[in-house]
Amino acid sequence: MAKLISELCELVHPLSVEDYTKQGGFSALEKTFKIPPEDVIKEISDSKLVGRGGAAFPSGIKMNVVAKEQNEIKYVICNADEGEPGTFKDKYLLNHVPFQIIEGMIIAGYAVGAHYGYIYIRGEYPDTHALLKRAIQELKKNQYLGNNIMDSGFNFNIELRAGTGAYVCGEETALIESIEGKGGDPRLKFPYTAVRGLWDKPTLVNNVETLANFCVVMNIGAEKYKMLGTDNSKGTKLFSVSGCVNKKGVYELEFGTSLRELIDTYCGGIEDDKAIKFVQVGGSSGGVFPAHMLDIALDYESFRKYGVGLGSGAVFVADESICIVDFLKATMKFFQHESCGKCTPCREGNRHIVKILDRISEGKGKMNDIKILLSICNAMIETALCGLGQSAPTALLTCIEYFRDEIEEHIHGYCRTGVCKFGKEGY
């Protein structure tokens, strides 16, 4: 395992500044302060680092847009609203190396000219919230936050804000709305957050893992960083593995490692030596891969070939006891529950998909239902306002592609796993 961003995770006490500095903490910040902000952005751009929250947008480009905005007030936001089902890697980082995340925020603030940052932490992580609160206090006490940090002349402060049960707030504009004290309805695509974000000021929003990467890039330099990974996916990625593997948990892997290697080598294979039915990568908004495709490399370009993304790096492994329709119902119910309700395709589309899947699982489906499902999926991808609605149908679409037989069996009143119980009227 290539431990870069999670290197210090088990080595330091999360709230000990002394531990952290002894292990090389704040050396990235020190290097940052020695060069002008534009060179920091150049370093990040050169590293080819892309955002780790799911959208995989080049971090350097985003920084550059915010940096170029002429505005006295700018913000850096740490998106710690990790809500993608199956994902717990940000919690892992925050619980173990909160200082590293904050260091990343200070680097970002320095690069774009922002002096104020927000950490938006999901409400489901109260312990992490408490820990972050203390981490901020510690750093203030030790003058890593506040004025003239490390004698650089640079000032930076951080405020902690809590989510309270809304997956959509992981979408950056919904997150901003939430910090402003509103419901988490995503904003329109234009103008971009980098130009008009929090309180209409230029705002840089980065995922926890991306911020952790800023420290790594500044520490080892773009050249060295770029040597890790594949042609188009540089560095390492954290994967949160759940489901029927022997060793569930967070793994840091170089991009390009195969899915099979992750499961077999790192996670110790499948519980009770059962057979894998499918693996879903990227959380509930990610695509599904059947067992015969496990040699796929975990990198952006390999996934793009299949029209899906790596997303947050969640890996859910399902064995043969899992019913595909049952899985889809749970997945789509999640989106029906979490859609903000603002735009038509997502508000109404998810609900109709769930309705149709429900009737299919009861043996009351019709062959035409698959066509109807596909038309809803298409409308959601094409017209939904934000990433939630656009990516919600991914699992359904990939399942229709790889497991159409099993769905059709249900329409005919048969569930091969025995999970779906059909009434008499079913068949």
How would you list the strands of the sheet with 249-254, edge to edge? 249-254, 236-243, 314-319, 276-281, 287-290
* Residue (217 or 241) nearer to another protein, CB: 241
State which H helix or E strand residue 400 sits in. helix 394-402
Q: What angle do CA 133, 135, 137 make, to 5 degrees?
A: 75
The Cα diameter of the chain in Å comes to: 76
**How many C-beta atoms lie closer than 10 Å to residue 4's C-beta?**
19
* Residue (191 or 423) nearer to another protein, CB: 191
| Least Cβ distance, residue 7 to another protein (angstroms) | 20
| Least Cβ distance, residue 395 to another protein (angstroms) | 9
* Residue (34 or 416) nearer to another protein, CB: 416
What is d(CA 118, CA 178) in angstroms, rounded to the nearest whole number?
Answer: 12
* Residue (36 or 183) nearer to another protein, CB: 183
| Least Cβ distance, residue 93 to another protein (angstroms) | 12
Tokens found for residue 354: 């769930």
Paired strand residues for 318: 278
| Least Cβ distance, residue 14 to another protein (angstroms) | 17
Position 291, amino acid = A
What is d(CA 22, CA 12) in angstroms, rounded to the nearest whole number?
Answer: 9
* Residue (272 or 382) nearer to another protein, CB: 382
* Residue (74 or 248) nearer to another protein, CB: 248
CA nearest to 331, candidates 374, 273, 392, 259: 392
* Residue (86 or 287) nearer to another protein, CB: 86
| Least Cβ distance, residue 317 to another protein (angstroms) | 9
| Least Cβ distance, residue 281 to another protein (angstroms) | 13
| Least Cβ distance, residue 109 to another protein (angstroms) | 20
Beta strand 276-281 with 236-243 is unpaired
Alpha helices, H only, 166-304: 172-179, 208-226, 259-261, 300-304
